[in-house]
Chains A and B, each alone.
Chain A
Amino acid sequence: MSGIVIIGAGQAAGQAAASLRQEGFEGTITILGDEDSAPYQRPPLSKQYLSGEVGVDRLLVRPEKFYVDKNIDLKTGTRVGSIAPSEKSVTTTGGDRFEYDKLLIATGSRPRILNITGSDLEGIHYLRTMGDVDGIRESMGSASRICIVGGGYIGLEVAAVARTSGLDVTVLEMEDRILQRVTTPEMSAYYHQLHAGRGVNIMTNTTVSGFQGNGSVSAVLCGDEIIEADLVIVGIGIIPNVELAETAGLKCENGIVVDDHCRSSDPDIYAAGDCTNHPNPLLNRRLRLESVPNAMEQARVASANMLGGDRVYAAIPWFWSDQYELKLQMVGFSSDGDSSVIRGDKSTNEFAVFYLNDGKVVAVDAVNSPREFMVCKQLYGKAVNAPDLANPEFELKSLLN
């Protein structure tokens, strides 16, 4: 038996290796990752790791010793160059070949890169890896004006950390509102006001045309407008890493296409995490998710099935974002709703917006409201009386059971 090979060493890979051992698999497990670190958590990168609150040791999903103790062959700094499904092997760019009985592709995603005038100047950063954030933190020490390109969650989390550290912060968003791709106009307006109130300069309908600087960036150009900045963070979305799978002939379409068992178009190759296009039976459609809980759950599902199990992936997507002292917890997609109801008062920074479709709960955006988040996880798809949700005296607990 050649065992199981995992391409990628992110959170899905780390969880899969752990799940395989937990399920009693005693064969070889090889993790091939191109970063230099054991699997680590990415969510804190733009939050507590950037602010310095959390160090490397707390970032690791499990200590390095774990992989040794559990006989998991973790090869970091190792990039896979190709997969040969007909031979059931993968070959690294260094020429090493690994055979597999089952292969898990957990290659994740990479930041979308800006390719415009001056985009190779120093001081322009992307944020995906621990190394990226180490670079940003080093620059932040001497920077005074930071410009963030892209008003998505990553950009806004960085804005919150940078503003809290006393930097001048400008956020540039090409759409007419921040968070346009991921939330409602109402929530966009709330977060816009929040950041503006803390002194962040947000410019919407603004497209970056280039960067200026002598070796190192000194300004961001938006048509005729010049925004001075000695540090730039670009957060304009991600691209799933599907090239290895695609070249190997696996079906890919906005991600590696997998079935509800996390199996690709090759029965011996599975995929998990950001790189997958997967069906969700609870949402009744296919989707690609940029989400840690999804990566972890798909890793568990794929592991069970690689060992001959019959486990179906069926999880409600959920997300979170920390900005300043506010914790936003989300369940489902607000765009699935045909109406919404607010519980609590926005002016207190403690409220939840529930989204209903045909009277059934399909999503929540909960700001500093963990109860509402937890109730939505359990109420998903169930019919409720909207005025009850809006009534602060109404006990949410009575909706459960």
Chain B
Amino acid sequence: MPQVKFIEFNGTEHVVDASKGESIMVAATNNLVPGIDADCGGECSCATCHVLIDADWQARLGARSEQEESMLDLNPDRTDESRLSCQIPMTDELDGITVRLPEFQY
């Protein structure tokens, strides 16, 4: 089972198991990781599962879809590392990925 390391804005770390195919958002909510609201349930409709992933790991992810890009564009905490975690399915290649959480979800 691939693992995800979530780091809360306050520095608290959570290492959780994720099932292959399920999104990073689902791995967070199934393991009670705080800081991800995921109000729309993974439809890319709300942008409340915003996370930050560094460039090395980003290189192994697919590119953002137009919808994901648009939802992130006007987020005040947007950086080059911004992703919506509901749009990233877990794979074996992503085992050990580090995902940082922003201070707020908008």
Contacts and interface: CB of A to CB of B under 8 A. Distances in A.
A322 B43 CA distance: 10
A400 B29 contact: no
Main secondary structure of the interface of B (DSSP, over half): loop
Interface stretch (A58-66, A142-150, A301-309): A58-66
Nearest to B72: A374
B70 interface: yes
21 contacts: A18-B29, A18-B32, A22-B34, A43-B41, A63-B30, A66-B30, A292-B40, A293-B39, A296-B37, A320-B45, A327-B67, A370-B67, A371-B70, A371-B73, A371-B74, A374-B47, A374-B70, A374-B74, A375-B74, A378-B76, A400-B76
B68 to A, nearest CB: 9
A62 B67 CA distance: 25
Given A70-B32, A296-B39, A320-B40, A374 B73 contact: yes
Contact of B106 (A41, A370, A378): A378
A241 interface: no
B5 to A, nearest CB: 18
B61 interface: no
Interface residues on B, range: 20 to 34
A44 B43 CA distance: 9
B39 A62 contact: no
B88 interface: no
A66 B28 CA distance: 12
B24 to A, nearest CB: 15
A370 B40 contact: no
Contact of A44 (B34, B41, B75): B41
A370 B32 contact: no
Contacts of A401: 76
Interface of B: 29-30, 32, 34, 37, 39-43, 45-47, 67, 70-71, 73-76, 106
A146 B41 CA distance: 29
Contacts of A70: 32
Given A43-B40, A371-B73, 6 more contacts: A43-B43, A44-B41, A296-B37, A329-B45, A370-B47, A397-B74
Contacts of A63: 30
Interface of A: 18, 21-22, 41, 43-44, 58, 61-63, 66, 70, 292-293, 296-297, 318, 320, 322, 327, 329, 369-371, 374-375, 377-378, 396-397, 400-401
Contacts of B46: 293, 318, 320
B30 A62 contact: yes
- Most chain B beta-carbon contacts within 10 A, residue among A43, A329, A370, A374: A370
Given A371-B73, A400-B76, A62 B45 contact: no
B41 A22 contact: no
Q: Which 3 A-B pairs have the closest CB atoms?
A: A370-B70, A41-B41, A374-B74
Nearest to A327: B45
B76 A292 contact: no
A329 B39 CA distance: 13
Contacts of A370: 47, 67, 70-71, 73
A396 B74 contact: yes
Contacts of A377: 106
B74 A400 contact: yes
A140 B65 CA distance: 32
Contacts of B37: 296
Contacts of A44: 41, 43
Contacts of B75: 374
Contacts of B47: 370, 374
- Most chain A beta-carbon contacts within 10 A, residue among B37, B42, B46: B46
A322 B45 CA distance: 10
A114 to B, nearest CB: 30
A70 B30 CA distance: 10
Contacts of B45: 320, 327, 329
A306 B37 CA distance: 20
A320 B70 CA distance: 16
A338 B8 CA distance: 42
A396 to B, nearest CB: 6
A21 B70 CA distance: 33
A43 B74 CA distance: 25
Contacts of B43: 43-44, 320, 322
Nearest to B48: A293
B28 to A, nearest CB: 11
Contacts of B30: 62-63, 66
- Most chain A beta-carbon contacts within 10 A, residue among B39, B47, B106: B39
Nearest to A297: B39
A215 B65 CA distance: 49
Nearest to B41: A41
